[in-house]
Structure 1
Amino acid sequence: MEDVRAILQVTMRRFGMLNKNCCSVGDHDISQVQSHILYELARAEGPSMQQVAETIGMDITTFSRQIQTLVKLELVEKRQSAEDKRVYHLYLTENGIKVEREINQQMLHYLTNVFTHLSEKESEKVVESLKVLNAAMSKSNMCCKPLY
Structure 2
Amino acid sequence: MPTEEIKQLRESIRILERKLGILEESEMACCGLTLAQCHALVEIGRAERLSLVDLAGTIGLDTSTLSRTVNNLVAKNMVSRELDPDDRRYVTIQLTPEGNRYFQEIEASMDAYFYKIYENIAEGDRALVLKGLTLLLDAIQESNCC
Report if TM-score (shorter chain) is over 0.5: yes
Q: Following the alignment from structure 2 to structure 1, what is the Cα–Cα distance between the partners of residues 35 and 124?
A: 30
Count of matched residue pairs: 141
1:4 is the counterpart of 2:9: yes
Structure 2 length normalisation: TM-score? Answer: 0.85
CA RMSD of aligned residues (A): 2.0
Deviations 1:17-75 (A, max 9, x none): 586564245xx322222222122112224211101101111100101011011111111
Which range is displaced more, 53-62 or 116-125? 116-125
Q: Name the stretch that deviates more: 132-141 or 70-79.
A: 132-141
Report what 1:127 is aligned to: 130
Aligned mate of 2:108, from 86, 91, 105: 105
Deviation at 1:113, TM superposition (A): 1.1
- Change beyond 3 A, Cα 1:45–1:103: closer
| Structure 2 residue matching 1:79: 3-state secondary structure | strand
Q: Which runs of 4+ in 1 moved over 6 A?
A: none
What residue in structure 1 maps to residue 71 of structure 2?
68
Task: State the distance in 2 between where 1:140 and 1:39 align.
Answer: 26
The code of the aligned residue for 2:79 comes to: V
Check 1:75–1:21 CA distance in 2 against 1; reply closer, same or farther (3 A cut): farther
Q: Which residue of 1 aligns with 2:86?
A: 83
1:138 and 2:141 are equivalent in the alignment:
yes
Unpaired segments ≥5 residues, structure 1: 144-148
Contact 1:17 1:32 in 2 (8 A): no
Structure ranking higher in strand proportion: 1
Instruction: Choose the corresponding residue for 1:15, options 12, 20, 44.
Output: 20
1:86 CA displacement: 2.7
Distance in 2 between residues matched to 1:84 and 1:100, nearest whole Å: 28
Which residue does 2:36 correspond to in 1? 33
Q: TM-score by structure 1 length? A: 0.84
Q: SS at the partner of 2:47? A: coil
Runs of 5+ unmatched residues, structure 2: none
The structure whose Rg is larger is 2
**Which of the numbers 92, 95, 100 marks the counterpart of 1:92?**
95
Contact 2:79–2:99 (Cα < 8 Å) also in 1: yes
Q: 1:146 is matched with which residue? A: none
Residue identity opposite 2:14 in structure 1? Q
